[in-house]
Amino acid sequence: MHAFELILVLFTIVLVSSILDQLLSRLSLPLVQIAMGVVGALVIGEPFQMTIDSHLFLVIFIAPLLYDESRRVSKRALMRNIVGILSLAIGLVVASVFAVGFALNWISPSIPLAAGLALGAALGPTDAVAVSALSKSTKLTERQTALLSGEALINDASGIVSFQFAVGAAVTGIFSVANAAGAFAASFGGGLLFGVVMGVVVLSILRGVRGIGLESTVFHVTFEILTPFVIFLLAEGIGVSGILAVVAAGLMIALAPNRATAYTARVSLVSHGVWEVIAFILNGIVFVFLGSHLPSVFTHSWEDATNPLSLAGLVLVLTAIVVTLRFVWVLILDWHMMRIGRLLGVHNYRQLLKGALTTTLGGPKGAVTLSIAMTLPVTLTNDAGVPIRDELIFLASGTILCTLLLANFLLPVLSPTESKGQSQERTNQVRTMVLSNLVEALNDNFGTRYPMAVSMLIGRYNHEIAELTMSKDFDAAIRRLRLNLLLKQREWLSDLLAQGKISNVVFESIGQTIDRLIQVANHKYSSRIGLRRVWMRIVHALKEIRAARSQHDEVTTPQQLRDARIALSRRSVDYLNSLEPKPQIPHEAIDYLLGDNQRLLAMLQRSAQYDEAISGKDHQPAKVGIRARRTLAEQLDLMEAEALRLELGCVQQLLEDDLITRAEASELRDEIYLLQMNLSDYSSH
């Protein structure tokens, strides 16, 4: 029962931290969660001072988080910056081991060199969780994001292996450079190789299950969640790096080609949502776990130290060493890239220094460092035989806090995020680029095969582009006028029902569409998802007309459905023509919405004429080709699905051309996946 209560407390703290994160805008979420962990340990006391085996900690928390991060990292950016990433993840970690070890032994000679090297290894890795959290409050370049995320994926393994050899030397007094280098290469290379093999196995299992028709969304997502745990345990069992195996498997799975279909869109969207929740909970627990240990670590070390103030000063010295070494390392990397002309956006040494400092502070230490330090043996002593384990853990914890605080308060100054207005302007610009490329792709691929459907679809895309490029005030005026018009249409529809001009079925069908559009307008849902829902409702209406004709419904005739919709469109056009411009609704907004409704009216009229033409007299099929026999609604349905597939390609092309960032591409893909799901839902009705 105690464990269950502790889990509930942890979940509650993580949940509350998400609220405090909105209120305490100057503090990053990791710092908020660390503070709540400290408060929990002080208020609740001993029951809250969680103890967990460091190996189990890596399995439960670090493995799934790195697996999720590896599946979402930009593979192109990763390969483009692979030299810099490996330099930071391996070279910088090894340099940190020796820099911290020798400096600590020189400043405090009572601490053995091997123990100092062990602490340096623990301070080598950056924290992927902290990097991910801090990137949300700071505007980083694509290269900085690739370096930080790629480094955090790999340096855990190099830090852990280095730590194991340093601890072995500290305990036994024996150290062999040749043996250490060989074991490091075996663990590192073996982990990568095993991860690639496991990635192939995972892909084979998924394709095999899909091939026999047994796969479902639930199976796929559950299998994804289970995968990192199994891979980590198997890798550690054969003596290679479990962390690197998980990362390599995640990259392998992400690189595998996957055809975009409605099912894969649904799986991707559900998987993204599930992993987002899991990552948030695990991230939160990691930092709460870190905070819960700080009071006891600081208290014991402070009480046991002969000179507590010198211990606190040593934390500042170690932080300065770690940060300075990292800054010099990154600065040399960036200078080399600028010299060969591959550091985009950097043209002088001031920009070079600013960018290097941003990358330096963007890699703070975190829970991985603490989990490594907690594995220090209790038998570790100084030259006088006095235990120094608590002292080293204090130094590690203090350095973690200092790097997190530096990142929290200096990064927003060095690289502030865009304002809300700038961010929205950039979002609209990105979507406009995608839609413009999509219009060209549709014309090239399907313009001659389905000219009417493509023309109508391109007209809608141009309409979306127009709304994305309009001013904020104009957009607000359009929304107000559109809502007023929808409310009027609801009244007109009720009048038609009261006059007996439409049946209850027609009233319910059209009324449901109008109600959904009112809901969209009330929530100011001006994004393209809202526009696409409007479009899908129109296409659905055309299908209703076609279905009513084929079924010869005695109550709801196709003429009633068509005439009702045309009557509403005509009244809308007349209503807009009669409106007088006002300060809140200028004549430009009236003209814009008038043209929108005129296009809708023309589309309904043309669809009826087209359907009658391909059906022939008395609804008998005309002698036309199979392709031409498709109704306009069917053509629009087909083109909508193909357009979404082409749109994914447009997003990828813009990403490869460096015109959009990885985060922007990910957001656009998620939006397209949602639209594919919506289209699939409408098509099944």
Each residue's pLDDT tens digit, 458-481: 777 877 777 677 666 777 777 788
What pLDDT is stored for residue 226 in this prediction?
93
Burial of 485 (0-12, 13-18, 19+ CB in 10 A): buried
Give CA–CA dist 459/453, Å, rounded.
10
Domains and CATH numbers, the chain: 53-412 (1.20.1530.20), 422-615+630-681 (no CATH)
Mean pLDDT of the chain: 77
The CA distances from residue 333 to 87, 343, 655, in Å, are 9, 10, 24
Q: Do 649 and 441 touch, CB atoms closer than 8 A?
A: yes
Contact call for residues 119 and 314 (beta carbons, < 8 A): no
According to the model, what pLDDT value does residue 558 have? 53
Q: Could you tell me if 409 and 155 are in contact, meaning their C-beta atoms sit under 8 angstroms apart?
A: no
Task: Quote the CA–CA distance of 442 and 210 in Å, as a whole number.
Answer: 31
Q: Can you give the length of the chain in residues?
A: 685
Q: Which long-range contacts (CB under 8 A, 24 or more apart) does 541-546 make?
A: 541/509, 541/510, 541/513, 541/565, 542/604, 542/607, 542/631, 542/632, 542/633, 542/636, 543/633, 543/637, 544/509, 545/607, 545/608, 545/611, 545/633, 546/611, 546/631, 546/633
Q: Which of 191, 182, 215, 217 is nearest to 66 (CA)?
A: 191
List the structure tokens of 501.
Answer: 């001009």
Please give the Cα distance from 113 to 458 (Å, whole number): 70
pLDDT for 569? 83
- Cross-strand partners of 381: 387
Rounded to whole angstroms, the Cα distance separating 252 from 208 reads: 17
For 3-10, the CB contacts below 8 A with 24+ separation are 6/47, 6/48, 6/50, 9/40, 9/44, 9/48, 10/284, 10/285, 10/288
pLDDT of residue 555: 47
The alpha carbon of 314 is separated from its chain's Cα centroid by a whole number of angstroms, namely: 38
pLDDT less than 50: residues of the chain:
1, 420, 524-530, 533-534, 537, 545, 549-555, 617-629, 685
**Residue 300: Cβ within 10 Å count:** 15
Name the phi and psi angles at 499, rounded to 5.
Answer: -85, -5
The three-state secondary structure class of 246 is helix
* pLDDT on residue 619: 45
User: Partners of 459 in the beta sheet?
Assistant: none
Residue-wise pLDDT for 88-108, tens only, equals 988 999 899 999 999 998 988
